[in-house]
Amino acid sequence: MKVLLVGSGGREHALAWALSKSPLLAKLYCAPGNAGIAEVAECVPIPASDFAGLARFAVDARIDFAVIAADAQLVGGLWDALEAAGIRALGPSKAAAVLEGSKGFVKDLCIDAGIPTAAYMRFTAPEPAKAFADTLGHPVVIKADGLAAGKGVIIAASKAEADKAIDFMFEGGFGESGNAIVIEEFMEGEEASFFALSDGTHVVPLAGAQDHKRVGDGDVGPNTGGMGAYSPAPVLSPALQDVAMEKFIKPTVAAMKARGRPYMGVLYLGLMITKDGPKLVEYNARFGDPECQVLMPRLKSDLLAALLAARDGKQTPLEWRDEVALTVVMASQGYPGAYEKGHVITGLDEAAAMPGITIFHAGTEKRGNDIVAVGGRVLNVTALGKDVAEAQARAYAAVAKIRWQGAFCRHDIGWRALAKRQAG
């Protein structure tokens, strides 16, 4: 089969790496890709935002199956554009990607389907929103309804902060995404993600993971896209994984079908494990980044076959390795703010040859014979190990071989899992 993967980050490199191992694959294209993806796919210089260009390329290159990895494309309707051009693709459709595209839609669905989540209300004007926020006490959570590049959630510690956040959103701080907002109760607990794959009617579990959103060691500093992750997540016990499937994911897939928006694709469930049990934080309509980078090394089954089966309604359970995968994100100094681009990266081959290591590229470009850093998040140094301690030691041993001017990473990826092991 000829397959087209859309995107250019570390998640897409992990997907390309897993797809490239499929016996069903004849040729893998990636648009636009990066220097790491180019090792396993032919990169084509079409931006992920150019839906018409992608559809034209897919038809001309006789693509048999397309994989769309990122929220903006799914919520924007790339699946619909490709399928309209006669290209089979992994969704969800635009109508079903509303699970990521509207936080208010998800909260209403939770109420209808009996899915546990934080108390909330939806607003389209600031004054009633402020009045409701006051009734919840502080901290209180203010969310832009639409996609806001991962920045649309503000946790306000006081009334002054809450009022400011509400005004900011209605004044267009997050563009149109903030024309409607959700105010919700703050949940205390440990967060974890669980992934499943749905064909619109049936759903198979994938695996769980935990990431590290803050930029600094000890979970301090600004939020990022994610500085590292591991899978499995010890907090997601087998019993909790059953709850994730039975009480969250299956009712959601059924509710989406009943609403005429059948959900086909990867479903990312963000959970808060509170003292009253697990509650939904959010849904995403795709794999997480960097969670995907720790799921793919653990997947024993053929990824391409699994994704095709979801598209065609013929799913079977997947097999996973028992080993732990852990990824450390190496970033450019300044990230998540402004950072320098164009510094040459050294030590990649030596690091990649170490035991259990796979390096996924997130923000790299090939210039002549050099690989240079061009993103905030640049590399995902990923290790498999018999347990989290071994995976962590292997990942950091490989990180130590890699250099570029201004490179940094967190030094404590996996700390929650290690603490649980030591405690248990």
Q: Which is nearer to ligand AMP, 153 or 354 (CB)?
A: 153
Examine residue 169 and tell whether it contacts ligand AMP (CB under 6 A).
no
Examine residue 161 and tell whether it contacts ligand AMP (CB under 6 A).
no
Examine residue 63 and tell whether it contacts ligand AMP (CB under 6 A).
no
Shortest Cβ distance from residue 136 to ligand AMP (Å)?
10
Q: Which is nearer to ligand AMP, 176 or 319 (CB)?
A: 176
DSSP string for residues in 354-388: STTEEEEESSEEEETTEEEE-SSEEEEEEEEESSH
Q: Which of 408, 409, 415 is nearest to 392 (CA)?
A: 415
Q: In the window 389-408, what residues touch ligand AMP (CB under 6 A)?
A: none
Residues in the interface with ligand AMP (CB under 6 A) total 11
Shortest Cβ distance from residue 106 to ligand AMP (Å)?
9
* Cα angle 287, 16, 359; round to 5: 90
Q: In the window 251-270, what residues touch ligand AMP (CB under 6 A)?
A: 270
Q: How many CA atoms lie within 13 A of 44 on its CB side?
A: 20
Examine residue 116 and tell whether it contacts ligand AMP (CB under 6 A).
no
CA distance 424 to 416: 12
Examine residue 14 and tell whether it contacts ligand AMP (CB under 6 A).
no
**Single residue of 191, 219, 323, 365 touching ligand AMP by CB under 6 A:** 191
Q: Which is nearer to ligand AMP, 143 or 311 (CB)?
A: 143
List Cβ neighbours of 367 (8 Å cut-off, separation of 6 or more). none
Examine residue 320 and tell whether it contacts ligand AMP (CB under 6 A).
no
Q: Are strands 27-32 and 42-43 parallel, antiparallel or unpaired?
A: parallel
Residue nearest to ligand AMP according to CB distances in the complex: 282
**Single residue of 38, 74, 118, 166 touching ligand AMP by CB under 6 A:** 118
Examine residue 229 and tell whether it contacts ligand AMP (CB under 6 A).
no
Examine residue 145 and tell whether it contacts ligand AMP (CB under 6 A).
no
CA distance 319 to 239: 18
Q: Which is nearer to ligand AMP, 37 or 215 (CB)?
A: 215
Q: Which is nearer to ligand AMP, 141 or 359 (CB)?
A: 141
Contacting range for ligand AMP; rule: CB under 6 A; set: 83-91, 107-115, 181-189, 242-250:
181-189
CA distance 133 to 142: 8
**Single residue of 168, 186, 320, 408 touching ligand AMP by CB under 6 A:** 186
Tokens of 74: 């799914």
Torsion of CA 200, 201, 204, 207, to 10 degrees: 50
Examine residue 418 and tell whether it contacts ligand AMP (CB under 6 A).
no
CA distance 299 to 144: 34
Q: In the window 267-306, what residues touch ligand AMP (CB under 6 A)?
A: 270, 281-282
CA distance 200 to 73: 19
414 phi-psi bin (left φ>0, alpha ψ -120 to 50, beta other): left
Phi, psi of 391 (to 5 degrees): -60, -40
Q: How many CA atoms lie within 13 A of 75 on its CB side?
A: 19
Examine residue 154 and tell whether it contacts ligand AMP (CB under 6 A).
no
Q: List residues binding ligand AMP (CB under 6 A).
A: 118, 141, 153, 155, 184, 186-187, 191, 270, 281-282
